[in-house]
Structure 1
Amino acid sequence: MKIGAHVSAAGGVSNAPKNAAALGLECFQFFSRPPQSGRTPELSDDEVRRFRGACDGHGFDECFIHAPYIINLASAERRIRDNSVRLLREELERGSRLGVTGMMTHLGSARDVGQETALQSVAEGLRRILDDYDGPTRLIIENSAGAGMIIGDEFEEISDILDRIGDSRVGVCLDTAHALASGYDLRTPETVAETMERFDRTIGLGRLLVIHTNDSKIELGGHKDLHEHIGLGHIGLAGFRSILANPAFADLCLILETPVDGVADDIKTLKSIRQAVWKGK
Protein backbone atom coordinates (compact mmCIF):
# COMPACT_ATOMS: atom_id res chain seq x y z
CA MET A 1 0.00 0.00 0.00
CA LYS A 2 1.42 3.33 -1.11
CA ILE A 3 0.18 6.77 -0.08
CA GLY A 4 0.02 9.42 -2.80
CA ALA A 5 -1.80 12.54 -3.91
CA HIS A 6 -2.60 14.64 -6.95
CA VAL A 7 0.25 17.11 -7.47
CA SER A 8 0.86 20.09 -9.71
CA ALA A 9 2.75 19.75 -12.97
CA ALA A 10 2.82 23.50 -13.58
CA GLY A 11 5.90 24.51 -15.53
CA GLY A 12 6.32 21.05 -17.06
CA VAL A 13 5.41 17.48 -16.18
CA SER A 14 8.91 16.89 -14.78
CA ASN A 15 7.90 19.08 -11.84
CA ALA A 16 5.23 16.57 -10.77
CA PRO A 17 7.62 13.99 -9.25
CA LYS A 18 9.60 16.79 -7.61
CA ASN A 19 6.43 18.17 -6.02
CA ALA A 20 5.41 14.66 -4.96
CA ALA A 21 8.77 14.07 -3.30
CA ALA A 22 8.51 17.39 -1.43
CA LEU A 23 5.25 16.13 0.11
CA GLY A 24 6.78 12.81 1.14
CA LEU A 25 4.58 10.82 -1.23
CA GLU A 26 5.15 7.23 -2.34
CA CYS A 27 3.20 7.57 -5.62
CA PHE A 28 1.41 10.44 -7.32
CA GLN A 29 -1.11 11.64 -9.90
CA PHE A 30 -0.98 14.69 -12.17
CA PHE A 31 -2.49 16.38 -15.22
CA SER A 32 -0.30 16.26 -18.32
CA ARG A 33 -2.41 19.03 -19.90
CA PRO A 34 -4.81 21.73 -18.62
CA PRO A 35 -7.81 19.89 -17.11
CA GLN A 36 -10.43 22.13 -18.69
CA SER A 37 -8.86 22.38 -22.14
CA GLY A 38 -8.51 20.24 -25.24
CA ARG A 39 -5.24 21.94 -26.11
CA THR A 40 -2.32 19.50 -26.35
CA PRO A 41 0.87 21.03 -24.91
CA GLU A 42 4.15 19.88 -26.38
CA LEU A 43 5.89 17.00 -24.63
CA SER A 44 9.50 17.16 -25.77
CA ASP A 45 11.98 14.31 -25.55
CA ASP A 46 14.01 16.40 -23.09
CA GLU A 47 10.97 16.84 -20.83
CA VAL A 48 10.28 13.10 -20.98
CA ARG A 49 13.89 12.42 -19.91
CA ARG A 50 13.60 14.94 -17.08
CA PHE A 51 10.35 13.36 -15.88
CA ARG A 52 11.74 9.84 -15.96
CA GLY A 53 14.96 10.99 -14.31
CA ALA A 54 13.06 12.74 -11.51
CA CYS A 55 10.93 9.62 -10.92
CA ASP A 56 14.03 7.44 -10.75
CA GLY A 57 15.87 9.92 -8.56
CA HIS A 58 13.03 10.12 -6.04
CA GLY A 59 12.23 6.40 -6.13
CA PHE A 60 8.80 6.59 -7.77
CA ASP A 61 7.82 3.44 -9.65
CA GLU A 62 4.07 4.13 -9.81
CA CYS A 63 2.33 7.29 -10.99
CA PHE A 64 -0.85 8.18 -12.83
CA ILE A 65 -2.21 10.75 -15.27
CA HIS A 66 -5.73 12.08 -14.76
CA ALA A 67 -7.46 12.90 -18.05
CA PRO A 68 -9.05 16.33 -18.63
CA TYR A 69 -12.48 16.94 -17.12
CA ILE A 70 -13.98 17.82 -20.52
CA ILE A 71 -14.20 14.17 -21.58
CA ASN A 72 -17.69 12.95 -22.52
CA LEU A 73 -17.73 9.63 -24.33
CA ALA A 74 -21.54 9.52 -23.96
CA SER A 75 -22.32 12.86 -25.61
CA ALA A 76 -25.14 13.15 -28.13
CA GLU A 77 -22.72 15.11 -30.36
CA ARG A 78 -20.38 13.02 -32.49
CA ARG A 79 -17.85 15.85 -32.47
CA ILE A 80 -17.57 15.75 -28.68
CA ARG A 81 -17.32 11.95 -28.60
CA ASP A 82 -14.63 11.95 -31.29
CA ASN A 83 -12.68 14.67 -29.51
CA SER A 84 -12.89 12.72 -26.25
CA VAL A 85 -11.52 9.62 -27.97
CA ARG A 86 -8.69 11.65 -29.50
CA LEU A 87 -7.75 13.27 -26.19
CA LEU A 88 -7.76 10.00 -24.27
CA ARG A 89 -5.67 8.22 -26.88
CA GLU A 90 -3.21 11.12 -26.81
CA GLU A 91 -3.03 10.87 -23.02
CA LEU A 92 -2.33 7.13 -23.21
CA GLU A 93 0.45 7.75 -25.72
CA ARG A 94 1.90 10.55 -23.59
CA GLY A 95 1.68 8.33 -20.53
CA SER A 96 3.53 5.55 -22.33
CA ARG A 97 6.34 7.94 -23.28
CA LEU A 98 6.59 9.04 -19.66
CA GLY A 99 6.44 5.52 -18.26
CA VAL A 100 3.24 6.24 -16.33
CA THR A 101 1.40 3.32 -14.71
CA GLY A 102 -2.10 4.31 -15.77
CA MET A 103 -4.30 7.07 -17.17
CA MET A 104 -7.69 7.45 -15.53
CA THR A 105 -10.77 9.14 -16.90
CA HIS A 106 -14.37 9.95 -16.13
CA LEU A 107 -16.77 8.59 -18.73
CA GLY A 108 -19.33 11.33 -19.35
CA SER A 109 -23.04 12.03 -19.03
CA ALA A 110 -26.12 10.32 -20.49
CA ARG A 111 -28.21 13.47 -20.00
CA ASP A 112 -29.02 14.05 -23.69
CA VAL A 113 -29.23 10.49 -24.98
CA GLY A 114 -30.56 8.07 -22.37
CA GLN A 115 -28.80 5.30 -20.52
CA GLU A 116 -28.59 2.52 -23.11
CA THR A 117 -27.38 4.77 -25.93
CA ALA A 118 -24.85 6.31 -23.55
CA LEU A 119 -23.47 2.91 -22.51
CA GLN A 120 -23.12 1.89 -26.15
CA SER A 121 -21.30 5.13 -26.97
CA VAL A 122 -18.95 4.82 -23.99
CA ALA A 123 -18.04 1.23 -24.85
CA GLU A 124 -17.52 2.12 -28.52
CA GLY A 125 -15.30 5.06 -27.56
CA LEU A 126 -13.17 3.01 -25.18
CA ARG A 127 -12.68 0.33 -27.83
CA ARG A 128 -11.59 2.98 -30.34
CA ILE A 129 -9.11 4.43 -27.85
CA LEU A 130 -7.47 1.04 -27.42
CA ASP A 131 -7.53 0.07 -31.10
CA ASP A 132 -3.94 -0.81 -32.13
CA TYR A 133 -2.64 0.58 -28.82
CA ASP A 134 0.26 -1.43 -27.43
CA GLY A 135 1.78 0.93 -24.85
CA PRO A 136 2.44 0.06 -21.20
CA THR A 137 0.21 2.74 -19.67
CA ARG A 138 -3.14 1.25 -18.61
CA LEU A 139 -6.52 2.83 -19.39
CA ILE A 140 -8.42 3.23 -16.11
CA ILE A 141 -12.08 4.21 -15.73
CA GLU A 142 -13.25 5.91 -12.54
CA ASN A 143 -16.52 5.41 -10.69
CA SER A 144 -18.73 8.48 -10.40
CA ALA A 145 -20.79 10.04 -7.63
CA GLY A 146 -24.01 9.60 -9.60
CA ALA A 147 -24.85 13.28 -9.99
CA GLY A 148 -27.43 13.82 -12.71
CA MET A 149 -26.94 11.28 -15.50
CA ILE A 150 -23.18 10.82 -15.05
CA ILE A 151 -22.11 7.34 -16.18
CA GLY A 152 -20.38 4.89 -13.83
CA ASP A 153 -21.89 5.34 -10.38
CA GLU A 154 -23.00 1.72 -9.96
CA PHE A 155 -20.61 -1.24 -9.98
CA GLU A 156 -23.03 -3.11 -12.22
CA GLU A 157 -22.91 -0.31 -14.78
CA ILE A 158 -19.11 -0.34 -14.82
CA SER A 159 -19.18 -4.12 -15.20
CA ASP A 160 -21.60 -3.77 -18.12
CA ILE A 161 -19.23 -1.33 -19.85
CA LEU A 162 -16.25 -3.62 -19.29
CA ASP A 163 -18.18 -6.56 -20.73
CA ARG A 164 -19.11 -4.50 -23.81
CA ILE A 165 -15.48 -3.47 -24.35
CA GLY A 166 -14.15 -7.00 -23.96
CA ASP A 167 -10.59 -5.83 -23.26
CA SER A 168 -8.72 -7.00 -20.17
CA ARG A 169 -6.34 -4.02 -20.35
CA VAL A 170 -8.99 -1.68 -18.92
CA GLY A 171 -8.76 -1.18 -15.17
CA VAL A 172 -10.87 0.62 -12.58
CA CYS A 173 -10.20 3.44 -10.12
CA LEU A 174 -12.43 3.43 -7.04
CA ASP A 175 -13.03 6.89 -5.60
CA THR A 176 -14.15 6.56 -1.97
CA ALA A 177 -16.06 9.87 -1.92
CA HIS A 178 -17.87 8.99 -5.14
CA ALA A 179 -18.66 5.51 -3.84
CA LEU A 180 -20.20 6.84 -0.62
CA ALA A 181 -22.23 9.43 -2.55
CA SER A 182 -23.47 6.60 -4.81
CA GLY A 183 -24.74 4.60 -1.84
CA TYR A 184 -21.80 2.28 -1.09
CA ASP A 185 -21.17 2.35 2.66
CA LEU A 186 -17.48 2.62 3.61
CA ARG A 187 -17.87 3.62 7.26
CA THR A 188 -17.32 0.36 9.17
CA PRO A 189 -15.27 -2.83 8.72
CA GLU A 190 -18.47 -4.75 7.97
CA THR A 191 -19.79 -2.35 5.33
CA VAL A 192 -16.37 -1.97 3.69
CA ALA A 193 -16.18 -5.76 3.43
CA GLU A 194 -19.70 -5.90 1.96
CA THR A 195 -18.90 -3.15 -0.56
CA MET A 196 -15.68 -4.79 -1.71
CA GLU A 197 -17.34 -8.22 -1.94
CA ARG A 198 -19.94 -6.62 -4.21
CA PHE A 199 -17.16 -5.00 -6.25
CA ASP A 200 -15.48 -8.38 -6.62
CA ARG A 201 -18.72 -10.11 -7.67
CA THR A 202 -19.55 -7.53 -10.31
CA ILE A 203 -16.29 -6.02 -11.58
CA GLY A 204 -13.60 -8.23 -10.07
CA LEU A 205 -10.80 -7.15 -7.73
CA GLY A 206 -8.32 -7.97 -10.47
CA ARG A 207 -9.56 -4.87 -12.32
CA LEU A 208 -8.97 -2.57 -9.33
CA LEU A 209 -5.73 -0.69 -10.01
CA VAL A 210 -5.84 2.46 -7.87
CA ILE A 211 -7.90 4.22 -5.17
CA HIS A 212 -8.86 7.87 -5.01
CA THR A 213 -8.82 8.24 -1.25
CA ASN A 214 -11.15 11.12 -0.41
CA ASP A 215 -13.55 11.87 2.40
CA SER A 216 -16.95 13.22 1.35
CA LYS A 217 -18.86 16.38 2.22
CA ILE A 218 -21.93 14.50 0.94
CA GLU A 219 -23.79 11.91 2.99
CA LEU A 220 -24.30 8.27 2.00
CA GLY A 221 -26.35 8.15 -1.21
CA GLY A 222 -26.29 11.94 -1.67
CA HIS A 223 -25.21 11.71 -5.35
CA LYS A 224 -22.98 14.77 -5.38
CA ASP A 225 -19.22 15.03 -5.88
CA LEU A 226 -17.68 17.09 -3.08
CA HIS A 227 -14.40 15.93 -1.55
CA GLU A 228 -13.43 16.59 2.07
CA HIS A 229 -10.26 16.21 4.12
CA ILE A 230 -9.66 12.78 5.63
CA GLY A 231 -11.70 12.34 8.80
CA LEU A 232 -13.74 15.52 8.38
CA GLY A 233 -16.44 14.12 6.10
CA HIS A 234 -19.11 11.46 6.15
CA ILE A 235 -16.67 8.54 5.81
CA GLY A 236 -14.73 9.69 8.86
CA LEU A 237 -11.58 8.37 10.51
CA ALA A 238 -13.29 5.13 11.48
CA GLY A 239 -14.22 4.60 7.86
CA PHE A 240 -10.67 5.12 6.62
CA ARG A 241 -9.32 2.79 9.30
CA SER A 242 -11.78 0.22 7.95
CA ILE A 243 -10.75 0.88 4.35
CA LEU A 244 -7.01 0.66 4.95
CA ALA A 245 -7.44 -2.49 7.04
CA ASN A 246 -9.35 -4.30 4.29
CA PRO A 247 -7.08 -6.67 2.32
CA ALA A 248 -8.58 -5.54 -1.01
CA PHE A 249 -6.52 -2.34 -0.69
CA ALA A 250 -3.28 -3.86 0.60
CA ASP A 251 -1.24 -3.65 -2.62
CA LEU A 252 -2.76 -0.53 -4.20
CA CYS A 253 -1.82 3.13 -4.53
CA LEU A 254 -4.05 5.41 -2.45
CA ILE A 255 -4.20 8.80 -4.18
CA LEU A 256 -5.55 11.80 -2.28
CA GLU A 257 -7.61 14.40 -4.15
CA THR A 258 -8.59 16.41 -1.09
CA PRO A 259 -8.54 20.24 -0.98
CA VAL A 260 -4.98 21.45 -1.47
CA ASP A 261 -4.99 23.63 1.67
CA GLY A 262 -4.72 20.61 3.96
CA VAL A 263 -3.36 17.80 1.82
CA ALA A 264 -0.12 17.59 3.85
CA ASP A 265 -2.16 16.82 6.96
CA ASP A 266 -4.20 14.25 5.01
CA ILE A 267 -0.98 12.50 3.95
CA LYS A 268 0.16 12.31 7.58
CA THR A 269 -3.27 11.03 8.64
CA LEU A 270 -3.30 8.22 6.07
CA LYS A 271 0.26 7.19 6.90
CA SER A 272 -0.63 7.10 10.60
CA ILE A 273 -3.73 5.00 9.94
CA ARG A 274 -1.74 2.62 7.74
CA GLN A 275 0.90 2.17 10.41
CA ALA A 276 -1.74 1.46 13.05
CA VAL A 277 -3.90 -0.99 11.09
CA TRP A 278 -1.05 -2.94 9.48
CA LYS A 279 1.17 -3.11 12.57
CA GLY A 280 2.08 -6.71 13.15
CA LYS A 281 0.34 -7.97 10.01
Structure 2
Amino acid sequence: MLEFKSESFAQFGPAGNSDDFFEEGNKSVYDVPKWLEKNGLGAYEYQCGHGVRISDDSAKDLGDIAEGKHIRLSIHAPYYISLSSVEEAKRDKSIEYILQTLRAAKYMRADRIVVHSGSCGKITRIEALKLASDTLRRAVKAADENGYGNIRICPETMGKVNQLGNVEEVIKLCQIDERFLPTLDFGHINAQSLGKYNTKESIKSIFDLIENKLGYERAKNFHAHYSRIEYTRAGEKKHHTMAETEYEPDFEPIAELIAERNYTPRIICESAGTQTKDACSMQKIYKELINKID
Protein backbone atom coordinates (compact mmCIF):
# COMPACT_ATOMS: atom_id res chain seq x y z
CA MET A 1 0.00 0.00 0.00
CA LEU A 2 1.28 3.45 -0.95
CA GLU A 3 1.41 5.70 2.10
CA PHE A 4 0.29 9.32 2.06
CA LYS A 5 2.88 11.96 2.78
CA SER A 6 1.96 13.64 6.02
CA GLU A 7 0.76 17.21 5.49
CA SER A 8 -0.51 19.40 8.29
CA PHE A 9 -2.40 21.85 6.10
CA ALA A 10 -3.78 22.29 2.59
CA GLN A 11 -1.24 23.43 -0.01
CA PHE A 12 -1.97 26.04 -2.69
CA GLY A 13 -0.39 26.93 -6.00
CA PRO A 14 -1.00 27.79 -9.67
CA ALA A 15 -1.55 25.72 -12.77
CA GLY A 16 1.26 26.85 -15.04
CA ASN A 17 2.50 30.41 -15.08
CA SER A 18 0.39 33.52 -14.53
CA ASP A 19 0.61 36.75 -16.50
CA ASP A 20 2.45 38.56 -13.71
CA PHE A 21 5.09 35.81 -13.60
CA PHE A 22 6.26 37.00 -17.01
CA GLU A 23 5.51 40.67 -16.40
CA GLU A 24 8.02 40.64 -13.54
CA GLY A 25 10.74 39.37 -15.86
CA ASN A 26 10.66 35.64 -15.27
CA LYS A 27 11.30 33.61 -18.41
CA SER A 28 12.08 30.02 -17.51
CA VAL A 29 10.28 27.23 -15.69
CA TYR A 30 13.36 27.13 -13.47
CA ASP A 31 12.26 30.55 -12.13
CA VAL A 32 8.98 29.09 -10.89
CA PRO A 33 10.06 27.70 -7.47
CA LYS A 34 11.66 31.02 -6.44
CA TRP A 35 8.56 32.87 -7.69
CA LEU A 36 6.27 30.63 -5.67
CA GLU A 37 8.43 30.98 -2.57
CA LYS A 38 8.28 34.77 -2.96
CA ASN A 39 4.49 34.56 -3.08
CA GLY A 40 4.28 32.21 -0.09
CA LEU A 41 2.86 29.28 -2.05
CA GLY A 42 3.79 25.62 -1.71
CA ALA A 43 2.48 23.82 -4.80
CA TYR A 44 2.74 23.92 -8.58
CA GLU A 45 1.09 21.99 -11.38
CA TYR A 46 3.31 21.62 -14.45
CA GLN A 47 1.25 21.71 -17.62
CA CYS A 48 1.63 18.99 -20.25
CA GLY A 49 -1.80 19.62 -21.72
CA HIS A 50 -0.48 19.80 -25.29
CA GLY A 51 2.02 16.98 -24.90
CA VAL A 52 4.87 15.84 -22.66
CA ARG A 53 7.72 17.89 -24.09
CA ILE A 54 10.03 18.32 -21.11
CA SER A 55 13.25 16.30 -21.25
CA ASP A 56 14.34 13.96 -18.46
CA ASP A 57 17.23 16.27 -17.59
CA SER A 58 15.04 19.39 -17.49
CA ALA A 59 12.44 17.60 -15.38
CA LYS A 60 15.13 16.53 -12.93
CA ASP A 61 16.55 20.06 -12.73
CA LEU A 62 13.10 21.53 -12.04
CA GLY A 63 12.47 18.87 -9.40
CA ASP A 64 15.77 19.64 -7.68
CA ILE A 65 15.03 23.37 -7.52
CA ALA A 66 11.44 22.80 -6.37
CA GLU A 67 12.55 20.44 -3.62
CA GLY A 68 15.00 23.05 -2.38
CA LYS A 69 12.12 25.52 -2.07
CA HIS A 70 9.73 22.92 -0.55
CA ILE A 71 7.33 23.12 -3.50
CA ARG A 72 5.02 20.12 -4.04
CA LEU A 73 4.77 19.23 -7.74
CA SER A 74 2.03 17.64 -9.82
CA ILE A 75 1.68 17.32 -13.60
CA HIS A 76 -1.39 17.72 -15.78
CA ALA A 77 -1.36 14.99 -18.43
CA PRO A 78 -2.24 15.79 -22.09
CA TYR A 79 -5.78 17.07 -22.60
CA TYR A 80 -6.38 14.74 -25.53
CA ILE A 81 -6.25 11.60 -23.42
CA SER A 82 -9.51 9.73 -23.95
CA LEU A 83 -9.89 6.75 -21.67
CA SER A 84 -13.41 6.19 -22.96
CA SER A 85 -12.88 6.38 -26.72
CA VAL A 86 -14.74 3.77 -28.75
CA GLU A 87 -11.56 3.44 -30.84
CA GLU A 88 -9.19 0.96 -29.25
CA ALA A 89 -6.17 2.63 -30.86
CA LYS A 90 -7.02 5.92 -29.14
CA ARG A 91 -7.37 4.19 -25.79
CA ASP A 92 -4.01 2.48 -26.30
CA LYS A 93 -2.47 5.81 -27.23
CA SER A 94 -3.94 7.34 -24.08
CA ILE A 95 -2.06 4.76 -22.03
CA GLU A 96 1.13 5.83 -23.80
CA TYR A 97 0.43 9.48 -22.90
CA ILE A 98 -0.14 8.52 -19.27
CA LEU A 99 3.18 6.64 -19.21
CA GLN A 100 4.95 9.64 -20.77
CA THR A 101 3.50 11.88 -18.06
CA LEU A 102 4.48 9.44 -15.33
CA ARG A 103 8.02 9.33 -16.68
CA ALA A 104 8.24 13.14 -16.50
CA ALA A 105 6.79 12.99 -12.98
CA LYS A 106 9.40 10.44 -11.92
CA TYR A 107 12.28 12.66 -13.02
CA MET A 108 10.59 15.79 -11.66
CA ARG A 109 9.73 14.04 -8.41
CA ALA A 110 6.11 15.03 -8.82
CA ASP A 111 4.00 12.68 -6.74
CA ARG A 112 0.78 12.84 -8.78
CA ILE A 113 -0.56 13.34 -12.30
CA VAL A 114 -4.00 14.62 -13.32
CA VAL A 115 -5.82 12.73 -16.09
CA HIS A 116 -8.95 13.54 -18.11
CA SER A 117 -11.29 10.62 -18.69
CA GLY A 118 -12.74 11.57 -22.08
CA SER A 119 -16.20 12.07 -23.50
CA CYS A 120 -19.33 9.96 -23.80
CA GLY A 121 -19.87 10.84 -27.46
CA LYS A 122 -22.63 8.71 -28.93
CA ILE A 123 -22.43 5.97 -26.31
CA THR A 124 -24.11 5.87 -22.90
CA ARG A 125 -22.36 7.06 -19.75
CA ILE A 126 -22.37 3.46 -18.49
CA GLU A 127 -20.63 2.24 -21.65
CA ALA A 128 -18.12 5.13 -21.51
CA LEU A 129 -17.33 4.38 -17.87
CA LYS A 130 -16.78 0.71 -18.67
CA LEU A 131 -14.28 1.61 -21.42
CA ALA A 132 -12.51 4.18 -19.22
CA SER A 133 -12.25 1.70 -16.35
CA ASP A 134 -10.64 -0.91 -18.60
CA THR A 135 -8.16 1.66 -19.95
CA LEU A 136 -7.19 2.82 -16.47
CA ARG A 137 -6.71 -0.76 -15.26
CA ARG A 138 -4.33 -1.37 -18.13
CA ALA A 139 -2.62 1.98 -17.52
CA VAL A 140 -1.90 1.26 -13.87
CA LYS A 141 -0.61 -2.22 -14.76
CA ALA A 142 1.76 -0.63 -17.28
CA ALA A 143 2.75 2.00 -14.74
CA ASP A 144 3.72 -0.69 -12.23
CA GLU A 145 5.66 -2.60 -14.87
CA ASN A 146 7.64 0.56 -15.73
CA GLY A 147 8.45 1.49 -12.13
CA TYR A 148 5.97 4.33 -11.72
CA GLY A 149 3.80 2.73 -9.08
CA ASN A 150 4.64 5.32 -6.44
CA ILE A 151 3.10 8.16 -8.46
CA ARG A 152 -0.60 8.73 -7.95
CA ILE A 153 -2.97 8.91 -10.92
CA CYS A 154 -5.73 11.45 -10.25
CA PRO A 155 -8.82 11.24 -12.51
CA GLU A 156 -10.40 14.67 -12.89
CA THR A 157 -14.03 15.77 -12.72
CA MET A 158 -14.97 17.37 -16.03
CA GLY A 159 -16.92 20.49 -16.98
CA LYS A 160 -18.98 19.74 -20.08
CA VAL A 161 -22.29 17.91 -19.86
CA ASN A 162 -21.34 15.30 -22.49
CA GLN A 163 -17.95 14.52 -20.93
CA LEU A 164 -17.35 11.50 -18.74
CA GLY A 165 -16.27 12.56 -15.27
CA ASN A 166 -18.98 13.69 -12.88
CA VAL A 167 -18.25 13.16 -9.20
CA GLU A 168 -19.81 9.69 -9.06
CA GLU A 169 -17.94 8.56 -12.17
CA VAL A 170 -14.59 9.83 -10.89
CA ILE A 171 -15.17 8.00 -7.63
CA LYS A 172 -15.84 4.78 -9.54
CA LEU A 173 -12.61 5.25 -11.51
CA CYS A 174 -10.72 5.82 -8.24
CA GLN A 175 -12.12 2.56 -6.85
CA ILE A 176 -10.03 0.71 -9.46
CA ASP A 177 -6.86 1.18 -7.39
CA GLU A 178 -6.39 2.42 -3.84
CA ARG A 179 -3.51 4.63 -5.00
CA PHE A 180 -5.80 6.74 -7.20
CA LEU A 181 -6.90 10.13 -5.85
CA PRO A 182 -9.85 12.12 -7.17
CA THR A 183 -9.14 15.51 -8.72
CA LEU A 184 -12.10 17.63 -7.71
CA ASP A 185 -12.33 20.56 -10.10
CA PHE A 186 -14.96 22.61 -8.31
CA GLY A 187 -15.55 24.90 -11.28
CA HIS A 188 -16.04 21.88 -13.53
CA ILE A 189 -18.37 20.17 -11.07
CA ASN A 190 -20.55 23.27 -10.80
CA ALA A 191 -20.53 23.89 -14.57
CA GLN A 192 -21.39 20.31 -15.54
CA SER A 193 -24.26 20.32 -13.05
CA LEU A 194 -25.43 23.71 -14.37
CA GLY A 195 -24.92 25.47 -11.06
CA LYS A 196 -25.96 22.90 -8.47
CA TYR A 197 -22.67 22.89 -6.55
CA ASN A 198 -22.11 26.39 -5.21
CA THR A 199 -23.23 26.10 -1.60
CA LYS A 200 -21.68 24.66 1.52
CA GLU A 201 -24.37 22.00 1.77
CA SER A 202 -23.90 20.84 -1.84
CA ILE A 203 -20.09 20.67 -1.47
CA LYS A 204 -20.57 18.78 1.79
CA SER A 205 -22.52 16.13 -0.11
CA ILE A 206 -19.50 15.61 -2.40
CA PHE A 207 -17.10 15.20 0.51
CA ASP A 208 -19.52 12.87 2.31
CA LEU A 209 -19.76 10.68 -0.79
CA ILE A 210 -15.97 10.49 -1.22
CA GLU A 211 -15.44 9.59 2.44
CA ASN A 212 -18.12 6.91 2.18
CA LYS A 213 -16.81 5.39 -1.07
CA LEU A 214 -13.05 5.97 -0.88
CA GLY A 215 -12.38 6.39 2.85
CA TYR A 216 -11.28 9.32 4.97
CA GLU A 217 -7.60 9.31 3.98
CA ARG A 218 -8.28 9.74 0.29
CA ALA A 219 -10.97 12.32 1.02
CA LYS A 220 -8.53 14.19 3.25
CA ASN A 221 -5.75 14.20 0.66
CA PHE A 222 -7.71 14.78 -2.53
CA HIS A 223 -6.26 16.81 -5.41
CA ALA A 224 -8.19 19.92 -6.47
CA HIS A 225 -8.55 22.53 -9.17
CA TYR A 226 -10.40 25.77 -8.60
CA SER A 227 -11.47 28.72 -10.70
CA ARG A 228 -14.69 30.54 -11.39
CA ILE A 229 -16.15 29.10 -14.60
CA GLU A 230 -18.76 30.52 -16.94
CA TYR A 231 -21.13 27.86 -18.28
CA THR A 232 -23.99 27.34 -20.70
CA ARG A 233 -26.52 24.53 -21.04
CA ALA A 234 -23.66 22.46 -22.47
CA GLY A 235 -21.58 23.02 -19.33
CA GLU A 236 -18.17 24.69 -19.09
CA LYS A 237 -17.56 27.66 -21.40
CA LYS A 238 -14.71 29.80 -20.03
CA HIS A 239 -12.42 30.16 -17.00
CA HIS A 240 -12.51 33.49 -15.16
CA THR A 241 -10.71 35.14 -12.24
CA MET A 242 -11.69 35.32 -8.58
CA ALA A 243 -12.43 39.03 -9.01
CA GLU A 244 -15.19 38.21 -11.51
CA THR A 245 -17.72 37.32 -8.85
CA GLU A 246 -20.62 37.10 -11.28
CA TYR A 247 -19.29 33.62 -12.07
CA GLU A 248 -19.33 30.55 -9.82
CA PRO A 249 -18.43 28.76 -7.66
CA ASP A 250 -17.43 30.73 -4.58
CA PHE A 251 -14.36 29.47 -2.78
CA GLU A 252 -15.41 30.27 0.80
CA PRO A 253 -17.82 27.32 1.29
CA ILE A 254 -15.17 24.92 -0.04
CA ALA A 255 -12.52 26.37 2.27
CA GLU A 256 -14.85 26.22 5.27
CA LEU A 257 -15.46 22.51 4.82
CA ILE A 258 -11.79 21.74 4.21
CA ALA A 259 -10.86 23.56 7.43
CA GLU A 260 -13.68 22.03 9.49
CA ARG A 261 -12.90 18.48 8.36
CA ASN A 262 -9.15 18.83 8.79
CA TYR A 263 -8.62 17.98 5.13
CA THR A 264 -5.18 18.61 3.62
CA PRO A 265 -5.72 18.70 -0.16
CA ARG A 266 -3.45 20.20 -2.76
CA ILE A 267 -5.44 22.99 -4.39
CA ILE A 268 -4.32 24.23 -7.80
CA CYS A 269 -5.72 27.52 -9.07
CA GLU A 270 -6.72 27.64 -12.74
CA SER A 271 -7.91 31.25 -12.95
CA ALA A 272 -7.47 32.88 -16.35
CA GLY A 273 -4.08 34.63 -16.11
CA THR A 274 -4.28 35.46 -12.39
CA GLN A 275 -3.69 31.99 -11.00
CA THR A 276 -0.80 32.97 -8.71
CA LYS A 277 -2.58 35.99 -7.22
CA ASP A 278 -5.79 34.01 -6.81
CA ALA A 279 -3.98 31.06 -5.25
CA CYS A 280 -2.61 33.51 -2.67
CA SER A 281 -6.14 34.81 -2.02
CA MET A 282 -7.46 31.28 -1.61
CA GLN A 283 -4.67 30.43 0.81
CA LYS A 284 -5.42 33.58 2.83
CA ILE A 285 -9.11 32.65 3.09
CA TYR A 286 -8.21 29.14 4.20
CA LYS A 287 -5.64 30.27 6.79
CA GLU A 288 -8.07 32.75 8.33
CA LEU A 289 -10.60 29.95 8.74
CA ILE A 290 -7.99 27.62 10.27
CA ASN A 291 -7.02 30.34 12.75
CA LYS A 292 -10.67 30.79 13.76
CA ILE A 293 -11.05 27.06 14.40
CA ASP A 294 -7.83 26.96 16.43
Q: TM-score, normalised by structure 1?
A: 0.82
**Counterparts of residues 96-107 of structure 1 (less than 5 Å):** 96-107=106-117
What are the ranges of 5 or more consecutive residues in structure 1 without an aligned counterpart? none
Q: What percentage of aligned pairs have identical amino acids? A: 19
How far is 1:236 from its partner?
2.8
**Counterparts of residues 154-173 of structure 1 (less than 5 Å):** 155-163=167-175, 165=176, 167-173=177-183
How far is 1:268 from its partner?
3.2
Tell me the amino acid that sits aligned with residue 248 of structure 2.
Answer: H
1:29 aligns with 2:42: no
Tell me the amino acid that sits aligned with residue 157 of structure 1.
Answer: E
The corresponding residue for 1:55 is: 66
Q: Evaluate the alpha carbon distance shift between residue 118 and residue 193 of structure 1 in structure 2; reply closer, same or farther with a 3 A threshold.
A: closer
Q: Evaluate the alpha carbon distance shift between residue 238 and residue 22 of structure 1 in structure 2; reply closer, same or farther with a 3 A threshold.
A: closer
> In structure 1, the residue corresponding to 2:12 is in which secondary structure?
strand
The corresponding residue for 1:88 is: 98
What are the ranges of 5 or more consecutive residues in structure 2 without an aligned counterpart? 1-9, 19-25
1:268 aligns with 2:280: yes
Asked if 1 retains the 8 angstrom alpha-carbon contact of 2:95 and 2:135, the reply is: yes
Q: CA RMSD in A?
A: 2.8
Q: Evaluate the alpha carbon distance shift between residue 42 and residue 237 of structure 1 in structure 2; reply closer, same or farther with a 3 A threshold.
A: closer
Give a deviation string over 1:95-117, Cα, whole Å, max 9, x none: 12221010011100120333233
1:117 aligns with 2:110: no
Tell me the amino acid that sits aligned with residue 89 of structure 1.
Answer: L
Higher relative contact order (CA 8 A, sep 6+): 2
The corresponding residue for 1:218 is: 231
Aligned partner of 2:208 among 167, 187, 197: 197
Tell me the amino acid that sits aligned with residue 50 of structure 2.
Answer: Q
Asked if 2 retains the 8 angstrom alpha-carbon contact of 1:29 and 1:64, the reply is: yes
Asked if 1 retains the 8 angstrom alpha-carbon contact of 2:59 and 2:107, the reply is: yes
How far is 1:79 from its partner?
1.9
Q: Evaluate the alpha carbon distance shift between residue 187 and residue 68 of structure 1 in structure 2; reply closer, same or farther with a 3 A threshold.
A: same
Q: Evaluate the alpha carbon distance shift between residue 81 and residue 110 of structure 1 in structure 2; reply closer, same or farther with a 3 A threshold.
A: same
Taking the aligned partners of 1:8 and 1:264, their CA distance within structure 2 comes to 8
Tell me the amino acid that sits aligned with residue 251 of structure 1.
Answer: T
Q: TM-score, normalised by structure 2?
A: 0.79
Aligned residue-pair number: 268
The corresponding residue for 2:5 is: none
Q: Evaluate the alpha carbon distance shift between residue 48 and residue 194 of structure 1 in structure 2; reply closer, same or farther with a 3 A threshold.
A: closer
Taking the aligned partners of 1:15 and 1:226, their CA distance within structure 2 comes to 28
> In structure 1, the residue corresponding to 2:136 is in which secondary structure?
helix
> In structure 2, the residue corresponding to 1:170 is in which secondary structure?
coil
> In structure 1, the residue corresponding to 2:114 is in which secondary structure?
strand
Q: Evaluate the alpha carbon distance shift between residue 77 and residue 44 of structure 1 in structure 2; reply closer, same or farther with a 3 A threshold.
A: same
Q: Evaluate the alpha carbon distance shift between residue 185 and residue 203 of structure 1 in structure 2; reply closer, same or farther with a 3 A threshold.
A: farther
How far is 1:214 from its partner?
1.8
